[in-house]
Amino acid sequence: MAKPDKFIPNASIGADGDQTAMDRKGFLNWLTIGWLSFSAATGGFFVVMIRFLFPNVLFEPPQSFKIGYPEEFVPGNVDIRYKKKYNIWVVRNEEGIYALSTVCTHLGCTPNWLMAEQKFKCPCHGSGFRFSGINFEGPAPRPLERFMIYLAGDGQIVVDKTKSFKFEKGEWERAESFLKV
């Protein structure tokens, strides 16, 4: 028995007269376009999802703030008034004023200023820092960081915590790490 020229599968019976029917290639093209746009939309949504995790508004203390006039700070004294609110110590020596970070450089705990021993002592693992912020005992690998400090137009001191200065990188030499008085 001879084979018929064209094999018509059962499922397509009745559809042969329709000229608008999509051919196989057209169908695959549309399928490709469809899947590509679906993947692009999904991929785009995943990017949006990641962005969603980064909040625009923070309910945290401001990172840049005024701490008062230079006269309020006594030479040779560590001012602990701003420790709780802003996590800084304001220290004044003979030459000027600097703002030290209260974050221990070992694992991020908060040391205490021990007046009698003239040192910052971390309660977590015993790291010790001198008046200057330089580490001298315990596991802390580097000195405390200093924050940007400068005078505002009204004569008050401004501390900006978004910019920090590291001693080991020689950044304490920079002008804004230290306020000359």
Q: Which residues bind other proteins (CB under 8 A)?
A: 50, 53-55, 58-60, 63, 107-109, 124, 162
The whole-angstrom separation of Cα 181 and Cα 178 is 9
- 142 or 151: CB nearest other proteins: 142
Q: Nearest distance from residue 53's CB to other proteins, in Å? A: 5
Q: In the bound complex, what is the minimum distance in angstroms from residue 92's beta carbon to other proteins?
A: 26
Q: Of 143, 140, 135, 138, whose CA–CA distance to 166 is shortest?
A: 143
Nearer to other proteins, 32 or 63 (CB): 63
Q: Minimum distance between the CB of residue 145 and other proteins, rounded to whole angstroms? A: 11
Residue closer to other proteins by CB (options 1, 47) is 47
Rounded distance between C-alpha atoms, residue 48 and residue 74, angstroms: 51
Task: Spell out the residues 6+ positions from residue 164 whose beta carbon is closer than 8 angstroms to its own.
Answer: 101, 145, 146, 147, 148
